Amino acid sequence: MSDEGTTGSSASWRAALAPGEGHDFSRTPGWWGLRDLGGEEDDVPRFRAALLRALPPLPDGSTVLDVGAGTGTLAAELVRFYPRLHHTLLDANDAALRRAEEKMRAAEPDAAVSLMPASVDPLDLAPLPGGPYRLVVSSIALHDVAPPAAAAEAPGRERHAAAHVSLLRRIYGALEPGGHLIYGDAVRPRFRVMEHLASLSAAGFDEVDCAYARGRLAVCGGRQPTGPVAATLWRR
């Protein structure tokens, strides 16, 4: 197999998902609806491990953006496995970011870390700054950046869905061709796994799938298409 097939930026994350994780059911709402029946406890360490395991291979020097990095629990785990990435941590909370950097340096003293203290407006049209990135990750943060509405409020739900898609488009625009967004977040009664997957497709991603859905936590992702398709989608 060529190197491009395993580590190239056009390889899909879905090839790396373990049997029983990724699948081709993404366009089957009923199947996802059944996953949302509940009955399982939230398990944050298991969820975070699933998010990390879902990442595509990352060659040394790859640029990674963590949106809503907070105190860096995810980033500090990632740097243990990939000590030679260029990490950019984006969060509205400056103090949290400094704590995140400490945790990353405790795990890997030579880690390349840039802090980006800024509040993200999901409705802004510009790509998130500092790109292009090979990978964007986010752990339990996108629902804070584009907060869901109360379940009973239909117009609010539409506003939230639009804001979430807009945020995903901002991420899409910050990726290099073939780059991935893999994120974990809370699902809501009116914003379930299927809505997350539909939002990724609406934002232009391909290879959209869900790698984990247990309790109220899910890991979803997609890839920016390579070549002319990417340019076409982003211009829309």
Ligand X SMILES: C[S@@+](CC[C@H](N)C(=O)[O-])C[C@H]1O[C@@H](n2cnc3c(N)ncnc32)[C@H](O)[C@@H]1O
Residues of this chain, 35-64, that bind ligand X according to CB under 6 A: none
Question: Interaction with ligand X in 93-152: which residues (CB under 6 A)?
Answer: 93, 96, 119-120, 139-141, 144-145
- Residue selected from 78, 91, 108, 160 as contacting ligand X according to rule CB under 6 A: 91
d(CA 35, CA 199): 18
- Kindly tell me which of 11 and 161 has the beta carbon lying closer to ligand X: 161
Q: Output the smallest distance, CB 143 to ligand X, in A.
A: 9
- In the complex, the smallest distance separating the C-beta of residue 1 from ligand X, rounded to whole angstroms, is 33
Expressed in angstroms, the distance from the first to the final Cα of the chain is 35
Helix axes 94-107, 73-81, angle to 10 degrees: 30
| Chain residues 198-227 in contact with ligand X, contact rule CB under 6 A | none
Distances in Å between the Cα of 196 and the Cα atoms of 31, 112, 143, 148, 223 are: 14, 31, 11, 12, 14
How near is the Cβ of 48 to ligand X at its closest, in Å?
7
> Considering the rule CB under 6 A, would residue 68 count as an interface residue with ligand X?
yes
Q: Which of 58, 65, 74, 171 binds ligand X (CB under 6 A)?
A: 74
Which position among 73, 114, 201, 226 is part of the footprint of ligand X (CB under 6 A)? 73
Other CB atoms within 10 A of residue 234 CB: 16
User: Exposed, middle or buried: residue 56 (CB in 10 Å: 0-12, 13-18, 19+)?
Assistant: buried
Structure tokens at 190: 């009116």
Contacting residues toward ligand X, per CB under 6 A: 68-74, 91-93, 96, 119-120, 139-141, 144-145
